[in-house]
Amino acid sequence: MREEFETRLKKNRNILKGIGILEIVGGTTGLGLIIWLMLRGTETNTFVFLILLVAIGFYVYSIYAGLRLFKKRENGILHSRILQYLQILAISIGGFTYLMTSGGYFFLGYNLTSGSITFSFALISSKFQLNILSQGESQFISINIMSIFIILLLEKALKNINEQSTLKANYERNMNEWLESKPDLTENSK
């Protein structure tokens, strides 16, 4: 019975490790993209430099959240939640654009410029777009279904881990109490 609890705990902890790996790879991919843009000789001014710093911070945070989730499992869920919540919405309206992803995305959205429904999917990919007062871009609102799915996976895995840990602790406590209440068989046989 104890092995059954351990197997269920391991399965749910492996889900958390998998999400952690996705976040680490996404952050690394994003940092690689930023470095590639910088090495390409992209023209930078103070505003572009600040946006690049925000992007670097986002991808470093993605790596941090992934490492915490991978190493400490349920103790790292808070950072992964924050990271995923930052990725749910992508919007571009009135010269303002906000779009951040790390590890992949499945955007379902509406393009306000063309009046069409849009889909966009990528796995092991990172995307960052932050513009203020930009001109001539298409306007859209999108929801990252992948981030919502990851948040649901995180919550379900955490719930299952907590339940299995409680059941395992109760089982072990009850077994110890039962064993302590039984007379020692070796003393009875003497």
**Per the domain annotation, does 176 fall within a domain?**
no
**pTM given for the model:** 0.82
- Structure-token pair, residue 25: 């790879």
pLDDT-derived band at 183 (thresholds 50, 70, 90) equals: low
Query: Cα(36)–Cα(32) distance, rounded to whole angstroms?
Result: 6
Hey, how many other C-beta atoms are within 10 angstroms of the C-beta on 53?
11
**Per the domain annotation, does 163 fall within a domain?**
no
**Per the domain annotation, does 167 fall within a domain?**
no
Asked if the model's pLDDT at residue 188 lies above 60, the reply is no
DSSP 8-state class, residue 73: G
Q: What pLDDT is stored for residue 136 in this prediction?
A: 66
**Per the domain annotation, does 183 fall within a domain?**
no
Straight-line distance from the first to the last Cα atom of the chain, in angstroms, rounded to the nearest whole number: 32
Q: What pLDDT is stored for residue 189 in this prediction?
A: 46
For residue 190, give the 3-state DSSP assignment.
coil
Among 125, 5, 19, smallest CA distance to 80 is for: 19
Structural domains in the chain (count): 1
Q: Give the domain range for residue 105.
A: 2-158
The mean predicted confidence, pLDDT, of the chain is 87
**Per the domain annotation, does 47 fall within a domain?**
yes
**Per the domain annotation, does 182 fall within a domain?**
no
**Per the domain annotation, does 127 fall within a domain?**
yes
DSSP 87-112: HSEEEEETTEEEEEEEEEEEEEEEET
**Per the domain annotation, does 188 fall within a domain?**
no
- Residue-wise pLDDT for 83-119, tens only, equals 999 999 999 998 889 999 998 999 999 999 888 999 9
SS (H, E, C) 13-48: HHHHHHHHHHHHHHHHHHHHHHHHHHHCCCCCCHHH
Asked if the model's pLDDT at residue 56 lies above 90, the reply is yes
Among 112, 64, 61, 49, smallest CA distance to 87 is for: 61
Q: Higher model confidence: residue 121 or residue 169?
A: 121
